[in-house]
Structure 1
Amino acid sequence: MRAFVLTGPGAYAVQEVPVPVPGRGEAVVEVERVGVCGTDMEFFTGAMAYLHQGHSSYPMRLGHEWCGRVARVGEDVDPAWVGLRVMGDTMLGCGACRRCSRGHQHVCETRQEVGIRGGRSGALAEQLAVPVSSLHVLPDSVDAALGSLVEPGGNALRAAQAAAPGSGDRVMVLGPGAIGLLTALFLRAAGAEVHLMGVTDASLAFARTMGFEHTWTEHTVPDLPFDAVIDASNAAHLPGLALELVEPGGRLVCIGLAGEPSRIDTRTLALKDVTAVGILSASPGLEATIRAYADGVVDPRPLIAATVGLDQVGEVLAGGRPFDCGPGPKIHVDPRLS
């Protein structure tokens, strides 16, 4: 089968690789759609921390935001899985440690991450092998576009829930990228007044096309009380700004990751009685995200700018935009396209 293989920083090829064989407890999925993520771009540049910590190494097959149809299953798997449309959890815990036993497999010390960590191949290929325990069935109303947005949506849903907005609460989201906009959609669905802060006119203009009227740059943020502030950016200084902006007694949520350490003044955190929450992984939010998409509570399809084939992935990872793509921040890949 064809697969996109990253062989080193900036080095890649679409290769013919062996078709995966499902192991015990595994399913092989025919991949329908894959989202390209900022994490994938960090692996492309060589900046991703896992490369330097020994959790990942080249060559590797990227792709952790995906959906598809089960083609075959291994031993100890119910054959009824065959033919079902599914998406999969990125985080694969060991299943035996204290964290896994408490339902926190997404922070298991020895976890694999599909397309990211521990040598587990990702979905930028025609087929993918994963544990059946990681799969979530997609209803007919969740098409391929939505199915491959479940994983980032689960992260965003958890960030929105961590902000704990009440109806009419005012929430600021720092960073109008894919995660920031998905978070904003879930916040709006919860009844919050959503504000977005960004850098470029284009990103803020796109946010307004999605119905978010309150868009700002760092220098134009109004003097308003924000009941929660969510940092969905990659700027090291913005968690500090988030703490300045949030109301006393409010909530500070960090889901963005900067390339260098971020610092906040814990004296301010304590004196303002702010609750600070970090979010890693969509795992606990996947089922709720599927339901939200299926019921039309949120519709993230406008985020998708284009869908390309495997041969165009390298250009996308290098920061290129496909010809005639839309204004959204998300590029999808259909491995079946030539």
Structure 2
Amino acid sequence: MRALVLTGPGRAEVHDVEPPVAVPGQVIVDVERVGVCGTDVELFAGTMSYLSTGRSRYPLRPGHEWCGRVAAIGEGVDGSWLGRRVTGDTMIGCGTCHRCRAGRHHVCADLREIGISGGVPGALAEQLRVPVGALHTLPDTVDETAGALVEPGANALRAVLGAGAGPGGRLLILGTGAIGSLVAQFARARGAEVHMMGRDEEALRLPRRLGVDGAWLRESLPPLPWHAVIDASNAPQLPALALELVEPAGRVVYIGLAGTPSTLDTRDLALKDIVAVGILGGSSGIPGAIAAYADGSVDPRPLVAATVGLGEAAGVLAGNRSAAGPGPKIHIDPRH
């Protein structure tokens, strides 16, 4: 089958590889749609921190935002999975440690991540092998585009829940990319007043299309009481700004990751009585994201700027958006 392989920093090619085999407890999925995210770009560029720590290494097959249809099942898998439309969790724990048993498999000491770490091949391929325990069924009301946005949506939902965003609350989101935009939609669906801060006027176009309550540059940001601030950016200076802007006794959520270390003054954290929350992965948010997409309270599809074939994936990772619209997300259809 065809699969995208990262062979080194800045090098990606579509290779013919052996198709996966359904082993006990796992299924084979015919992949229908894959989203490209910042982690994939960092793995391609060689800047992802996992590459320096050894958690990830080349050659590597990326892709962790996906949907498809179960084509084969391994021994011990319920036959009802065959033919089902699915998406899946990126985080694969050992299943036996105290963290996994407590439902925290996303921080398992032996964590492997589909398409990212531990040598687990990703979804930028015609087929993907997945543990059955990581699968989630997609209802008919969630199409391929939305199905491949469940994983980032689940991350965004976890950030919204961590912020306690809801009716009567005012939320400020730092960053207007895919995660920030999904955070805005989930927060609005929960009744919060939602504002977003972007780096320039171009970055504010999508928030305004999404109908947020306010879209601001740093210099125009009004001095409102922000009950919660979510940093969904990759800027190393914004974690400290989030702490500076949030109301005393408010909540700050960190879901964005900068390429270099970020610093903040923990005295501000204590003296303002702030709750700070870090978000890693969307595991527990997947059912809620699917439900919100299915009932229409959140529509992630405006975030997708273009859908291209597998042969164009390397160009997308390199930053080629020549055929793309204004949205932040590019999707790949490995069948083409």
Deviation at 1:241, TM superposition (A): 0.5
Match of 1:331 in 2: 330
Query: Are 1:4 and 1:14, in contact at CA under 8 Å, matched by a contact in 2?
Result: yes
Query: Are 1:12 and 1:314, in contact at CA under 8 Å, matched by a contact in 2?
Result: yes
Divergent runs of 4+, >6 A: none
Stretch deviating more after TM superposition (116-125 or 212-221): 212-221
Stretch deviating more after TM superposition (207-216 or 134-143): 207-216
Deviation at 1:262, TM superposition (A): 1.0
* 1:106 and 2:79 correspond: no
Match of 1:188 in 2: 188
Query: Are 1:316 and 1:322, in contact at CA under 8 Å, matched by a contact in 2?
Result: no
- Looking at structure 2, the residues matched to 38 and 237 of structure 1 have their Cα atoms a distance apart, in angstroms, of 18
TM-score normalised by the chain length of structure 2 = 0.99
Match of 2:13 in 1: 13
- Looking at structure 1, the residues matched to 205 and 93 of structure 2 have their Cα atoms a distance apart, in angstroms, of 40
Stretch deviating more after TM superposition (122-131 or 164-173): 164-173
Alignment of 1:29-178 (within 5 A): 29-178=29-178
- Looking at structure 2, the residues matched to 165 and 289 of structure 1 have their Cα atoms a distance apart, in angstroms, of 16
RMSD over aligned Cα atoms: 0.8
Q: How many residues are paired up?
A: 336
Match of 2:277 in 1: 277
- Looking at structure 1, the residues matched to 200 and 126 of structure 2 have their Cα atoms a distance apart, in angstroms, of 36
* 1:294 and 2:294 correspond: yes
Match of 1:306 in 2: 306
Secondary structure (helix, strand or coil) at the match of 1:159 reads: helix
Question: Percent same amino acid among aligned pairs?
Answer: 61
Deviation at 1:78, TM superposition (A): 1.3
Deviation at 1:64, TM superposition (A): 0.1
Amino acid at match of 1:161: L
Alignment of 1:199-238 (within 5 A): 199-238=199-238
TM-score normalised by the chain length of structure 1 = 0.98
- Looking at structure 2, the residues matched to 44 and 217 of structure 1 have their Cα atoms a distance apart, in angstroms, of 30
- Looking at structure 2, the residues matched to 196 and 184 of structure 1 have their Cα atoms a distance apart, in angstroms, of 8
Over residues 40-94 of structure 1, what are the superposed CA-to-partner deviations in whole Å (9 max), with x where a residue is unaligned? 0000110111111111111111000000000001111112211000001000000
- Looking at structure 1, the residues matched to 276 and 72 of structure 2 have their Cα atoms a distance apart, in angstroms, of 44
Query: Are 1:122 and 1:128, in contact at CA under 8 Å, matched by a contact in 2?
Result: yes
Deviation at 1:213, TM superposition (A): 4.2
Amino acid at match of 2:18: P
- Looking at structure 2, the residues matched to 166 and 185 of structure 1 have their Cα atoms a distance apart, in angstroms, of 12
Secondary structure (helix, strand or coil) at the match of 1:3 reads: strand
- Looking at structure 2, the residues matched to 207 and 74 of structure 1 have their Cα atoms a distance apart, in angstroms, of 44
Over residues 88-136 of structure 1, what are the superposed CA-to-partner deviations in whole Å (9 max), with x where a residue is unaligned? 1000000111111111000101111000010000000000001011000
- Looking at structure 1, the residues matched to 166 and 143 of structure 2 have their Cα atoms a distance apart, in angstroms, of 31
Query: Are 2:166 and 2:187, in contact at CA under 8 Å, matched by a contact in 1?
Result: no
Query: Are 2:33 and 2:67, in contact at CA under 8 Å, matched by a contact in 1?
Result: yes
Query: Are 1:92 and 1:106, in contact at CA under 8 Å, matched by a contact in 2?
Result: yes
Amino acid at match of 1:256: G
Deviation at 1:168, TM superposition (A): 2.5
Secondary structure (helix, strand or coil) at the match of 1:29 reads: strand
- Looking at structure 1, the residues matched to 218 and 66 of structure 2 have their Cα atoms a distance apart, in angstroms, of 34
Over residues 147-197 of structure 1, what are the superposed CA-to-partner deviations in whole Å (9 max), with x where a residue is unaligned? 000000000000011110231311100000000000000111111111100
Over residues 226-284 of structure 1, what are the superposed CA-to-partner deviations in whole Å (9 max), with x where a residue is unaligned? 00000000011101110110001100000000111111111111111110000001001
**Any gaps of 5 or more consecutive residues in structure 2?**
none
Deviation at 1:200, TM superposition (A): 2.5
- Looking at structure 2, the residues matched to 320 and 120 of structure 1 have their Cα atoms a distance apart, in angstroms, of 26
Amino acid at match of 2:331: H
Query: Are 1:6 and 1:62, in contact at CA under 8 Å, matched by a contact in 2?
Result: yes
Deviation at 1:320, TM superposition (A): 1.3
Deviation at 1:221, TM superposition (A): 1.1
Amino acid at match of 1:328: G
Query: Are 1:306 and 1:322, in contact at CA under 8 Å, matched by a contact in 2?
Result: no
Secondary structure (helix, strand or coil) at the match of 1:50 reads: helix
**Any gaps of 5 or more consecutive residues in structure 1?**
none
